Structure 1
Amino acid sequence: MASPIQIVLNPDNFQEAREKGGGGGHKDFFAHRDKEFAAHKTSLLQQIETISVELAAQATGSVGYAKVILRREAWAKSHRPMTALFRPDRTRLVGGADLGVMIVEARPRSLAEVAKQIEEAETETILRFDETKNKDVPYPSARKSEVGAIDRIELFRASDKRNFSVEEAVAWLSNPMTGGSYQVELFTPPAPRADWDRLDEANRTLLETFVAGFSTLGQGVSVARMSSGSGSQPLLSVRLDETSTPVLRMNDTPSNERKRALAPFAHDIESHIRLLEFLDNHPLVRRIELPGIVVRANAATENRTRPSAATINARDLRRSYPKLGVVDGGISPALDEWIIDRWTVLADEDSNHAHGTFIGGLATIGASLNGPEICSEADGAELVDIAIFPSPEKAGAFASYYPDGVPQFFDEMEAAVADAHARHGVRVFNMSLNILQPAVADRYSAHAVRLDGIAEANNAVIFVSAGNTQPQDLRPEWPADASRALADLALARNDGLLTPAESARNVTIAALNPTGHDGCVPYAPTRYSRRGPGLRGSMKPDLAHVGGAGTQHTTLGHGLFSILPDGAIVDGCGTSYAAPIAAKTAAVIEHLIEGEVSRETIIGMLVHHARLPEPLRDKTLSPVARHLVGFGMPPSAETILETGDHSITLVFASRIKPGEQINFGFSWPASLVETGGKCRGAAKLTLVSTPPLDARFGAEYVRVNINAVLQQEQAPDKWKGRLEPVYLPDKRDRHAIEAELIEHDLKWSPVKVHAKNFPKGVGPSSNWRLFVEYLTRAGEEMPEEGVPFTAVLTISDPTDDKPVFNEMRQNLQAIGAQITDIRTAARITPRV
């Protein structure tokens, strides 16, 4: 018998004051190694002295920026050297880079104060008797602990700012689709000229020399503030052109500003050398990047049509359908029956409907063309056609609509998504487009920042393709042997994710092989699908779905079917086509739940019920599986929203606020409890949150960690977590350090999944709790409005025998938990 997913209507009743603790005392990283610590102190002092001398001699003033690089075992918040050494009142923390790398504002005077604290750190190992351990243990001062936590201190230099040559830059920027502008990130926003008198002498000199430097280049240069989607990340667009007068607009400009025609791009190499040397060497500049180019994520052309036309059924105006926004180059009139609105800026001659129509066909008639094993949702979806991507086959088309490049494209997308949401309530969008820039492990790209801002502003979820490799980088077809698969992956090159697939607010989709295609292993990763991990500590891609085979079959072609603009059947492949199939399931979930379901719940439902494809379940593939398919392939919306009587799925959609935690206690199902309190069964817990993000901190861009654990009572007020990360490679036999928690437990990731089977029973008690808490980064404050999250918990009997659903419902009602079918919950609760 089917049992609906239950949502807890009164999660606020289980909020309580946050327990303040954790972190422990100071750690001595050089315990019993006194000589080594003395040498380490001397080395750090020399590094600081060198940096101070260099800063004092700068023509740009005495302000600079330094990297404080922590040793791996000191990545945890409690070990950060921000209490005794780099205190906020002494040195300003301005960002981060890779994990464990702090970037601070540095001045000779403040560095001298840091050096004094380092000098005062005791060299000898101090011991103190610990009664709980019944032995002497190291008991360092805060100074010694923080000095030991640091590996080294370096000045932020030109080598940290860019990774391309001048020749590469000029060749890339010559393409009109780029907009021709360097993207320059600063450490701090430039103050308006009228406020310079409020700056201290060092900061005023820093800004004056930055502005003056553009005027001395001897070439026309245009500088403008870019919209980053994040007020904390100051970005400038810097373009060299063939005019003679510099135009400097470093502060915000009105959004309705009239766009002027761009002056011709300057190809002169010497001019670019002077510009890049200036930017490389000015302390205010943090990073210089080349702009991206928007590309479609289809790996092969649609090369074969069916002998008969597809049947496009009429839309029944008496009923409602799931809604999906398609951000692409336009959908042909062949699907007019299902298009409820169009947002287009493209002239007919600049449009190419093939890609968008294939995607629209998958959403509307994909099930009848491909069957439920590939397209599990019933045919029919109301589409909003967001036609904003000009034909890539027409030279100069993109630049004619978006002369400023990708940022201007995102401006148009932002307006279109907001309009579709406001007019039609569209919450799910498909964007099978990528930026031709690889995602990197230590940087949250400006493209991902913009996309995430669009999703958050509209309470929407955007499905993004992971991207496809170039033809020369295709991997071999996935083999049946796991060891051979690992070897093929080890030899693969240039197959990492493209931006903005590292997006933190949206869902990235990789591609799987279709069924019934004897040229490939069913549901294995396709040979063209790009892989993660994206930023360190994250899970990308998030999910995977069928995208068509990269090797053609003699009769089936790529094995995934949709339609051409004229309505004819065609086969194709690409992560472009995997994304809308997953997006359709999300749209059906959103449609079946009354009211405006939160984006955290939509994502959580998909991730929680996703399953690892069969070809990736071999244990030897565990370390790489998540980088290929994320949490796996989601089933149909119907399967997600209903369970059997042998299990229950509970949804907690709430907001954790400053100073609070959530403690939801309950009894394990009685039929799964043995004599002595041992509990059998299986449990799975998925958490999706929307924490504050800050791109200035690189790989540490997530500033608040929301964590949920399922714990069993061991003794009064003593609890033990019972679940493990789904991708934990080996059973732990010791306490995990911060680096391991980031890598395997996805600490700091907005999406986490833990699970465990207990076939023999565990623990001494039937008392369990779902516990949700938060942790802020060092120096970070929890937002006053809190952080929204959704936790999805399933408890089941793997033998499909015990009445878990009914037992849990009775237990929860007895403790005052109000629960109901999630599909109708909006009648009662404001947040689902």
Structure 2
Amino acid sequence: MATEEMRARSARNTNPFHRIPFQRADLSAPENGGGGTKELVTVTRQYRAELHDTLVTAASALRPEIARYPNSPGVLILKLRDKAIAKSHRPNTLVAEAGLLSAGVGRIEEMLVAANAVTIDSLARLIRFRETKKIRANLSAIERIQAWDKDRRLSATVPELRERGRALLSLFRYHAADATAQNVDALRAVLQRFNMPSMAMVQRWGPPVFRVDLEQISDEGLEALSMFPGLRSIFPEPKMYSASAVPGFIPGPVSPPPPGINHPIVGVFDTGTAASAASLRPWIASTAPYVLPPETDYVHGTAVASLVAGAKVINGDHDWLPPTRCQVHDTCGLEAAGGNTTDLIVRLADAVRNAPHVKVWNLSLGGGQIGDHEFSYFAQQLDALSDEHKVLFVVAAGNYKGLPRRGWPVGEADLQDRLSSPGDSVRALTVGAVAHVDSPGAMVAAGHPAPYSRRGPGPVFTPKPDVVHAGGGVHADWSIGASSLQMLGPANALYGSFGTSFATPIVTSVAGHLWQSLEGHADLAVAPHMVKALMIHAARLASPDYGAVERRYFGCGIPKDALSALYDSDDCFTLMFEALVVPGFKWRKAPYPIPASLLHNGKLRAEVIITAAYSPPLDPNAGAEYVRANVNVSFGVLNGNRISGKVPMEGEAGTTGYEAAQIEHGGKWSPVKLHRKRFPQGVAGDQWAIQLDTLLRANEPPLAEPVNVALIVSLRSLDGNAQVHSDGVRSLVQSNWVRQQLPVRVPVHV
């Protein structure tokens, strides 16, 4: 990212984005479609015999568990072919006729079903003898059948579990509430029988997760748990850490808040701020102490809070740093040496519940590297808290400290530098880091991904991080230097350091101002997904069109400031739509208002940038299919009643059939959609339109309410034509769409 690319065209507070509220007339009648049932491979007698053999092997593995725990069914894995992952090919008829019970999803190609001795025998007969067209098609979708047994249940070896000390027990949620409740009771009975103390963690979705202290559990008790068929997973409780800071000696307190200015208040959940950091105290609006010395030294929390309160002023008014200063709800909830995940979740939930006025929360922490197939436990808990309290978490992508060191461009080494938990939260705004200052000895140039900044994608190719910001540069021996970021220490002096921990509060401060600027509409409830969409869109407007590999490091780029997330430059015209979508219906707005200055001989000559964000239903029991609804975006030309999309979605590219399937049925279900296209030669069209439709996962129940989508569309001149925004407003007025200015107030920039 070159320096000149960082400088977005200047947004003007006379050019507000326009909000287009939802209208029932935007929804069209349902469309019916879908193909017939077909065999993906020929189901011969030999095919049936081989599939039956895999069932026999799986049943043998489950039989001892089912015999020991008759009140909890065993779980079979129906391993699907790559081309059978689509929900239209799921073997649901086979499952229903066998009397099996859906138990969720494992990896993207794994359909899980609960079974007992009777239903296993029924499944065996269907595999061997049933000849209906639907059953044959269902059988052709299954590559093999496996057992969800002890080996799959234990996510770490017994010695590794013992070494960690605390473990979490995650139960299956079956598609029958009584079966799930019976399974919970059966686990409680096992815990009581072996005198295993436990703590039940109530979940927003599904049965509770139980925390156990393995120091108080015998080998016999642990063996009993590992054999319990109703457990989806037994895994070590993750531990979360803040980035360590390196002290320095540059004096310079944080300047106090100007009088008469109503700065937003954001939550900082960290190691707390030091009372001795006197210049920071005027920015501390309130406190919530959960951790006290000696468990905290206040170093990391003071640094993070100082960047929320004044990153720009304590870093020499650097051009890339936003002037959006916020007050802090100081929540001391993280130990300096790191904390256990369940302890942090309990504290964070209590803090959010007790501060309903705080809508944006900074989490500059991280644990272990995420996996490929499932979203981390902490990420799932953040998603649940976000939904329950309607708050936005801004989360660090995490720091890579391993060897070899990473430069830019990245070499061929296979580094363990993927995101850390909870950066994979689908509701959160995840922040990576770039260097912001060129300096002799710095490991990367300004604008390049910082060597420590963990990269995407998230599980099943979900695009992450969302954005990046200045996190401080690293010098050749992994030390601070002139390119590092300045922050405040407990002694009220500035020092240099680096980490995604410090890029995150800069983004948090922008999000806090953005949320505040949207409040006050009579008919608009500000929502986390809306603020997230605007933040991502602002980053895209200020950044080049990254390729798939670059996006793993840069995300969507740097959000310049709150003003550019709400106001256009003169050469750009932006609308934000509020859309409610339901399966089977199309949401469409047409004809789309095109600025006259972007039309040349009937052709649209412009850059089109589209960002959509929404909060689909989630299900931790669904594994790789955690996100349960997808929204498709189309911007293009109407041909009769059909739209011809002209702006493709940006995403990952698969290099193998299995990887392509993961992207198609995982990454493309991401609740953030990115579309971008330049038309230097122009593209013809008499009537332009924007359209959304939604699709549910296999076996997902009907939606309780529509999916609420924040859809942002910018049409930008390719040659800096300053008439675009004013022309767009005139075209919008002529459309007679219901509309209003999006921002209620201009963000505070002092």
Q: TM-score range by the shorter chain?
A: 0.7 to 0.9
Q: Which amino acid aligns with 1:451?
A: L
d(CA) in 1 for partners of 2:553 and 2:286?
A: 35
CA deviations over 1:694-738 (Å, ceiling 9, x no partner) = 10011100111122221212x31232111122345599xx9x975
Aligned partner of 1:626 in structure 2 is 551
The equivalent residue for 1:428 is 360
Indicate the residue corresponding to 1:768 in structure 2. Answer: 688
Question: Once the 2 structures are TM-superposed, how far is the Cα of residue 186 of structure 1 from its aligned partner?
Answer: 1.6
Separation in structure 1 between the aligned mates of residue 559 and residue 690 of structure 2, nearest angstrom: 24
In 1: Cα distance, 2:26 partner to 2:661 partner:
27
- Sequence identity percentage: 25
Which residue of 298, 315, 323 corresponds with 2:265? 323
Question: Map of 1:467-482 to 2, 5 A cutoff?
Answer: 467-470=398-401, 472-473=402-403, 475-478=405-408, 482=409
Query: Structure 1 residues 692, 575: closer, same or farther in 2, change over 3 A?
Result: same
| Cα displacement string for residues 147-173 of structure 1 (whole angstroms, at most 9, x for unaligned residues) | 222111112111111232222222221
- Hey, what's the Cα distance between the residues in 2 that align with 1:648 and 1:77? 39
1:708 counterpart = 2:633: yes
Contact 1:612 1:633 in 2 (8 A): no
1:50 CA displacement: 4.3
What SS does structure 1 have at the residue aligned with 2:303? helix
Over 3 Å counting, the alpha-carbon distance change for 1:635 and 1:777 in structure 2 is: same
- How far residue 279 of structure 1 moved from its aligned partner, in angstroms, is 2.0
Distance 2:73 2:378 in 1: 30
Please name the residue that 1:224 is paired with: 199
- Quote the offset at 1:497 in angstroms: 2.0
CA drift at 1:109: 3.2
- Give the 3 Å change call, closer, same or farther, for CA 112–190 of structure 1 in structure 2: closer
For 2:487 and 2:186, the matched residues in 1 are separated by: 58
After superposition, where does 1:10-159 map in structure 2 within 5 Å?
10-30=21-41, 34=42, 37-52=44-59, 58-59=66-67, 60-61=69-70, 63-82=73-92, 84-87=93-96, 90-119=99-128, 141-159=133-151
CA distance in 2, matches of 1:774, 1:43: 38
Counterpart position of 1:186: 171
Match of 2:618 in 1: 693
What is the distance in 1 between the residues matched to 2:537 and 2:461? 19
Q: Secondary structure at the match of 1:766?
A: coil
Cross-structure match for 1:823: 743
1:654-669 to 2 correspondences below 5 Å: 654-657=579-582, 660-667=585-592, 668-669=594-595
In structure 2, how many angstroms separate the alpha carbons of the residues matched to 1:784 and 1:207? 26
Q: Is the 8 A contact 2:205 2:619 kept in 1?
A: no
Secondary structure in 2 matching 1:438: coil
Structure 2 counterpart of 1:411: 346
Q: Give, in angstroms, the shift of residue 579 of structure 1.
A: 0.5
Higher mean alpha-carbon deviation, 345-354 vs 143-152, is at 345-354
> 1:672 & 1:279 partners in 2: Cα distance?
66
2:577 matched to which residue of 1?
652
Q: Which moved more, 1:71-80 or 1:164-173?
A: 164-173
Q: Which runs of 5+ in 1 are unaligned?
A: 123-139, 174-180, 241-264, 399-404, 827-832
* More moved, 406-415 vs 652-661: 652-661
TM-score scaled by length of structure 2: 0.88
Aligned to 2:529: 600
Matched, 1:741 2:664: yes
Give the counterpart of 1:726 among 617, 639, 650. 650
Please name the residue that 2:4 is paired with: none
Tell me the alpha carbon deviations over residues 29-80 of structure 1, each in whole angstroms, 9 at most, x when there is no partner.
Answer: 12xxx4x744322222233344456656642338311011111111112111
Offset at residue 591 of structure 1 (A): 2.4
Taking a change above 3 Å as real, the CA distance of residues 375 and 345 of structure 1, as seen in their structure-2 partners, is farther
Deviation at 1:347, TM superposition (A): 3.3
**Bigger CA radius of gyration:** 1
- Counterpart of 1:302? 246
Q: Which amino acid aligns with 1:473?
A: L
Alignment-derived partner of residue 790 in structure 1: 710
Q: Partner of 2:740: helix, strand, or coil?
A: strand
Whichever residue aligns with residue 393 of structure 2, its letter is I
Q: Secondary structure at the match of 1:655?
A: strand
Residue pair 2:617, 2:627 contacting (<8 A) in 1 also: yes
The CA deviation at 1:275 is 2.9
Aligned mates of 2:391, 2:455 — CA distance in 1: 24
Judging changes above 3 Å, is the alpha-carbon distance between structure 1 residues 18 and 96 closer, same or farther for their aligned structure 2 residues? Answer: farther
1:807 maps to amino acid? D
Contact 2:268 2:330 in 1 (8 A): yes
Instruction: Return the offset for 1:652.
Output: 1.2
Paired position in structure 2 for 1:401: none
Residue deviations 1:759-788 (CA, integer Å, cap 9, x gap): 11224x231211111101111123222222
Aligned partners of 1:96 and 1:526: how far apart in 2? 36
How far off its partner does 1:112 sit?
Answer: 4.1
Counterpart of 1:673 (choices 570, 594, 599) is: 599
**Residue equivalent to 2:671:** 750
CA 505–628 in structure 1, closer or farther in 2 if over 3 Å, else same: same
**Alpha-carbon distance between aligned partners in 2 of 1:448 and 1:207, rounded to the nearest angstrom:** 23
Q: Which residue of 2 aligns with 1:287?
A: 233
When residues 674 and 119 of structure 1 are mapped into structure 2, their CA distance, relative to the original with a 3 A threshold, is farther
Secondary structure at 1:154 match in 2:
strand
Match of 1:799 in 2: 719
User: Contact (CA 8 Å) 1:724, 1:756: kept in 2 or not?
Assistant: yes
Alignment of 1:169-568 (within 5 A): 169-173=161-165, 181-188=166-173, 210=187, 213-214=190-191, 217=194, 220-228=195-203, 230-240=204-214, 265-266=215-216, 272-298=218-244, 301-306=245-250, 308-310=251-253, 312-333=254-275, 334=278, 335-371=280-316, 373=318, 376-378=321-323, 380-392=325-337, 405-420=340-355, 422=356, 425-435=357-367, 437-470=368-401, 472-473=402-403, 475-478=405-408, 482=409, 485-487=410-412, 490-492=413-415, 494-518=416-440, 519=442, 520-551=444-475, 556-568=481-493
Match of 1:126 in 2: none
How many Å separate the matches in 2 of 1:349 and 1:54? 50
Where do 5+ consecutive residues of structure 2 fail to align?
Answer: 1-10
Q: Which residue of 1 aligns with 2:7?
A: none
SS of residue paired to 2:462: coil
Pair 1:811–1:365, CA change in 2 (3 A): closer
